[in-house]
């Protein structure tokens, strides 16, 4: 894919030359412009995959370039160059539609990765576009279902992603289907005959995770009585799924980075480099960009993992999927012929599903465990779900409140409100605290704690 066409617009000639040489070495077809006006002339005549433009330039600045590209060739990816300490401009540009920015002085590796990722993204969006015209409605792929626009887009992209061998990062709230997506990518790829190994990075203490992933040699630490192969070796020619990657300890991140960079690693206590060919699919419900800010996650690793990004939106942002999911899970629980009334489906549609598809699946399982009825009405729905609907109508609107000229005591108001909700929930649940807590979406302990705080018995 190295045949990307790139235009560099940068008035500092030496910078322009360095960049252009670097990218030509990578095999790209590079053109240069030495100021904004020349850049715009070239953009009018030719189409580029990527345009890298300085922000501050005579005649026409980076923003003008960006605007021109968005107008003439919106598919072209624009990357801004910014001087050290002026990232705000670059961020404004990203809000307008630039893809990313690079900072002077240049870090060569960073540029290579940004450009490579940008090209992957461009290729993928081109393919998805042709696919979209071919396949109008795909509601199912492997075990994944969804008919919302967002889900259909994801379902259409997955076969393409499976074809490529790039690393994939899957993000999204808990219970959104990240693991299902990872499975689908593996199953549709040519690696399907080989292993798919899932590792939950949050489930192991640090040392153990390292020996699980990379293996160890006899005598490397107390208890290492035999040589042991790690999961990376076991996944040879297959895929490894690093779940909860945001929880991987920093020193292991460095070791993982090396595997991603040159496909090799050493067992703990080992002296020999081991080469592997493993596709890395990772997932997290954390925001890795925030984790990078906090110093918990390596930026270079992030770029390596995130060559292709799949973001699964929360269920509440794709409510069109809910009826389809209800139908699907009803079928799974041996409940053929049984169905939900329209009112009951509507309650499901309006519920916020903070636990996403997993919560919905569990709710349906619970319903069929507790009732034999053929037709599921609102009455049969779990307490917290129908309770949510009942409470929602009572929540106050912005127009309902008033603040007098000498102000209000917000703490007192909130305490009063909290007391009312606690009492109401107790009433609705006939004094069963566990149920009342569920109605308020708080834990039993928290509920008890609050009752105590207000002296409610």
State the residues that interact with ligand ATP by CB under 6 A: 143-146, 172, 174-180, 285, 357-358, 361
Q: What 8-state DSSP symbol labels residue 106?
A: P
CA distance 381 to 386: 6
User: Does 198 engage in binding with Mg ion (CB under 5 A)?
Assistant: no
Report the residue closest to ligand ATP, judged by CB: 177
User: Does 110 engage in binding with Mg ion (CB under 5 A)?
Assistant: no
Choose from Mg ion, ligand ATP, none: what does 389 bind? Cβ within 5-8 Å by kind. Answer: none
CB of 308 to Mg ion, least distance (A): 18
CB burial readout 415-427, b (16+ within 10 A) else e: eeeebebbebbbe
Is the Cβ of residue 220 or residue 335 nearer to ligand ATP in the bound state? 335
Q: For residues 348, 353, 356 and 360, what is the CA-based torsion angle, rounded to 10 degrees? A: -40
CB of 174 to Mg ion, least distance (A): 7
User: Does 179 engage in binding with Mg ion (CB under 5 A)?
Assistant: yes
CB of 202 to ligand ATP, least distance (A): 9
Long-range contacts of 160-165 (CB under 8 A, 24+ apart): 160/124, 160/127, 160/128, 160/131, 161/124, 161/185, 161/308, 161/310, 162/186, 162/187, 162/188, 162/189, 163/188, 163/189, 164/120, 164/308, 165/279
Report the DSSP beta bridge partners of residue 89: none
Q: What angle do CA 372, 375, 379 make, to 5 degrees?
A: 85
CB of 235 to ligand ATP, least distance (A): 19
Q: Interacting stretch for Mg ion, rule CB under 5 A, among 1-9, 101-109, 173-181, 210-218?
A: 173-181
Q: Interacting stretch for Mg ion, rule CB under 5 A, among 178-186, 225-233, 252-260, 274-282?
A: 178-186
Q: Applying CB under 5 A, what is the total number of residues that bind Mg ion?
A: 2
Report the residue closest to Mg ion, judged by CB: 179
Is the Cβ of residue 116 or residue 361 nearer to ligand ATP in the bound state? 361
Q: For residues 99, 103, 109 and 114, what is the CA-based torsion angle, rounded to 10 degrees? A: 0
User: Does 286 engage in binding with Mg ion (CB under 5 A)?
Assistant: no
Q: How far apart are the first and last CA of the chain?
A: 69
CB of 390 to Mg ion, least distance (A): 32
User: Does 180 engage in binding with Mg ion (CB under 5 A)?
Assistant: no
CB of 243 to Mg ion, least distance (A): 5
Residues that bind Mg ion (CB under 5 A): 178-179
């Amino acid at each position: 894919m190295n045949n990307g066409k790139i235009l560099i617009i940068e008035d500092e000639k030496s910078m322009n030359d360095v960049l252009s040489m670097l990218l030509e070495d990578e095999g790209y077809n590079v053109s240069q412009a030495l100021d904004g006006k020349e850049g715009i002339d070239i953009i009018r005549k030719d189409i580029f995959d990527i345009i890298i433009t300085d922000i501050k330039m005579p005649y026409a600045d980076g923003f003008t370039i960006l605007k021109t590209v968005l107008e003439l060739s919106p598919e072209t990816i624009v990357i801004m160059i910014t001087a050290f300490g002026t990232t705000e401009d670059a961020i404004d540009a990203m809000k307008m539609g630039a893809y990313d920015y690079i900072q002077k002085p240049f870090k060569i590796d960073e540029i290579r990765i940004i450009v490579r990722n940008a090209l992957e993204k461009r290729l993928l969006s081109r393919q998805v576009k042709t696919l979209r015209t071919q396949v109008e409605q795909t509601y199912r792929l492997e075990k994944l279902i969804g008919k919302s626009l967002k889900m259909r887009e994801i379902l259409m992209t997955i076969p393409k992603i499976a074809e490529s061998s790039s690393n994939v990062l899957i993000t999204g709230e808990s219970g959104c289907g990240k693991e299902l997506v990872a499975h689908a990518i593996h199953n549709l790829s040519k690696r399907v005959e080989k292993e798919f190994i899932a590792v939950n990075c949050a489930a192991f203490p640090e040392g153990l995770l390292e020996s699980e992933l990379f293996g160890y040699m006899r005598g490397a630490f107390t208890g290492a009585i035999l040589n042991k192969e790690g999961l990376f070796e076991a996944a040879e020619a297959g895929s490894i799924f690093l779940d909860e990657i945001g929880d991987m300890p920093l020193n292991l991140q460095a070791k993982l980075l090396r595997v991603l960079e040159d496909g090799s690693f050493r067992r703990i206590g080992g002296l020999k480099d081991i080469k592997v060919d493993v596709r890395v699919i990772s997932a997290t419900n954390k925001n890795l960009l925030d984790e990078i800010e906090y110093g918990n996650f390596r930026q270079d690793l992030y770029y390596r993992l995130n060559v292709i990004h799949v973001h699964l939106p929360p269920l509440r942002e794709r409510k069109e999927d809910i009826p389809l999911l209800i139908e699907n899970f009803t079928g799974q629980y041996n409940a053929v012929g049984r169905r939900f009334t329209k009112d009951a489906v509507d309650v499901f549609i309006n519920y916020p599903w903070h636990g996403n598809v997993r919560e919905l699946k569990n709710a349906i399982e619970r319903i069929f465990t507790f009732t034999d009825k053929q037709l599921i009405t609102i009455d049969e729905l779990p307490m917290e779900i129908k309770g949510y609907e009942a409470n929602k109508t009572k929540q106050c609107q912005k127009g309902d409140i008033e603040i007098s000229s000498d102000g209000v005591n917000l703490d007192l108001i909130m305490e009063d409100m909290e007391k009312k909700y606690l009492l109401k929930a107790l009433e609705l649940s006939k004094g069963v605290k566990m149920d009342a807590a569920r109605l308020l979406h708080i834990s039993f302990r928290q509920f008890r704690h609050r009752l105590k705080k207000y002296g409610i018995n």
